[in-house]
Amino acid sequence: MPVTAISTPGPFRVLVVEDDERSGRMLAGLLRRDGFTVDVCLGGLAGLQHLAEGPAPDVLVTDLRMPQIDGITVARLARTHCPTLPIVIVTAYPDLANRLDGAEPMPQLFIKPLDYSALVGALRDLERSA
């Protein structure tokens, strides 16, 4: 397999961007229990700041509809930093994701309420192929 992204040594790092505080923290907690390294940003603006200043994620898990800065903007900025960054969208408004049509690799889409085990399965697949 051709190595395009520089694989980060150490644990698989997940960036969760979710404006609902309780849901964001709970998702981060569950993922940590399952062994992932998780950074959680409450809202799009925090997500942008993290992408600019924080440690680079191996995957972005983001909500779409958020006040001020939406998930589409976050996803686009993430891709400017790392064009091959895997993106997972968790949203109540799946139709909004068509604004990312044509993005490669294609973001994976999960509709709320989230099927947590399906998300973990997808992240494990990404971790394996990273």
Partner 1 sequence: MATAVPDTETRFAELKRYVEFSAEDAALLAGFRTTAEPHFERIAQEFYDQIRLHEEAHAVFTGEAQIARLQRSLVRWLERVFGGTYNEAYFAETTAIGRVHVKVGLPQRYMFTAMALIRLSLMEIAEASGPHGTRVSRAICRIIDLELATMLESYRDDSISRIQHVERLEKEALGRDLAKTQHRYVNAVELARVLIVGLDDTGVIRLFNREAERVTGHGRDEVLGLELLTALGIDPDGDGAGVDALLRSFRSPAPDGAASDGSPLETTIRTRAGHPRVIRWHFTHAPADGDDVSVFALGLDSTDERATADRVKQQERLAAIGTLAAGLAHEIRNPLNGAQLHVTYLDMALRDIDASADLLDTVHVVRDEIRRLGGLVSEFLDFARPRPLQIKPVVIQEVLARTVQMVTSQAQTREVTLTLDAPPADIELQADRAKLEQVFLNLAQNAVDALASGGRVVLRARRQPRTVTVEVEDDGPGIPSGTPIFDAFFSTKSHGTGLGLSITHRIVTDHGGSIDVETAPGRTLFRVVLPVAGPQTQSQPIPGVNDDD
Q: Give the dihedral of Cα atoms 65, 67, 70, 73; nearest 10 deg.
A: 170
Q: Considering the complex, state which of residue 65 and residue 81 has its C-beta at the smaller distance from partner 1.
A: 65
Here's the x/- map for partner 1, 21-60, by CB under 8 A: it reads as -xx--xx-xx--x---------------------------
The piece of 7-15, 42-50, 79-87, 112-120 that touches partner 1 (CB under 8 A) is: 112-120
Question: Any idea which residue has 């993922």 for tokens?
Answer: 31
Q: Considering the complex, state which of residue 82 and residue 110 has its C-beta at the smaller distance from partner 1.
A: 110
- Does 72 contact partner 1 by CB under 8 A? no
Report which of 108, 60, 101, 109 is spatially closest to residue 80, judged by C-alpha positions. Answer: 60
- Determine which residue in the list 11, 55, 81, 115 makes contact with partner 1, applying CB under 8 A: 115
Q: Considering the complex, state which of residue 96 and residue 126 has its C-beta at the smaller distance from partner 1.
A: 96
Q: How far is the CB of 110 from partner 1 (least distance, A)?
A: 10
Rounded to whole angstroms, how far apart are CA atoms 128 and 17?
22
Interface with partner 1 (CB under 8 A)? 20, 22-23, 26-27, 29-30, 33, 90, 92-93, 95-96, 111-116
